[in-house]
Amino acid sequence: MTTSDRRQVLRRAVEACIAGEVDALPELFTKDVIGWSPNMLVGSRADLTEVVADREDALSDVNVQVDALYVSGNKGFVEYRVSAVFSGPFVISDDVVVDPNGREIVLGAAMAADFSGNKIAAFRNYFDDATLMEQMLAG
């Protein structure tokens, strides 16, 4: 696997997870992937698929702008911005669902990833969840 291939996987992984494209996850993440973000913790691709599927209807008109993308060996880093319309329910847990407000949200984020072969085996996604929730709860 070349650095260029891993760069494409990292970019595609961010886009697929944000857009709710669960069918793309098997080609991007290992079966035993582990990862977290401020409002998510997963210990397998099945867990990640469930989280992404729960969120697939939350956002529409999704645009991901990659600002920086770096891969060295088995490590990768991507800094990106997301803009989207909050148009469907955002499921945080079985007990917590945020109803859509129809407004555009904008969020800056960064993700660090560890690769195993041509797939992501671990990731850490960083963003300000308070800013995200503030935009989602705006009336």
The predicted pLDDT at position 119 comes to 97
Does the predicted TM-score (pTM) go above 0.85? yes
Per residue in 87-126, pLDDT (tens digit) is: 998 877 788 889 999 999 999 999 999 999 999 999 999 9
- What tokens were used for 57? 């209807």
Q: Which residues pair with 126 in a beta bridge?
A: 110
All domains of the chain in start order, with CATH: 3-137 (3.10.450.50)
Per residue in 28-66, pLDDT (tens digit) is: 999 999 999 998 899 999 999 998 987 768 888 999 999
- What tokens were used for 48? 């990640």
Q: Average of pLDDT values for 132-138?
A: 91
pLDDT band at 14 (very low <50, low <70, confident <90, very high): very high
Q: Average of pLDDT values for 74-91?
A: 94
The predicted pLDDT at position 101 comes to 95
Pairing of strands 119-127, 104-116: antiparallel
C-alpha closest to that of 21 among 65, 51, 1, 42: 51
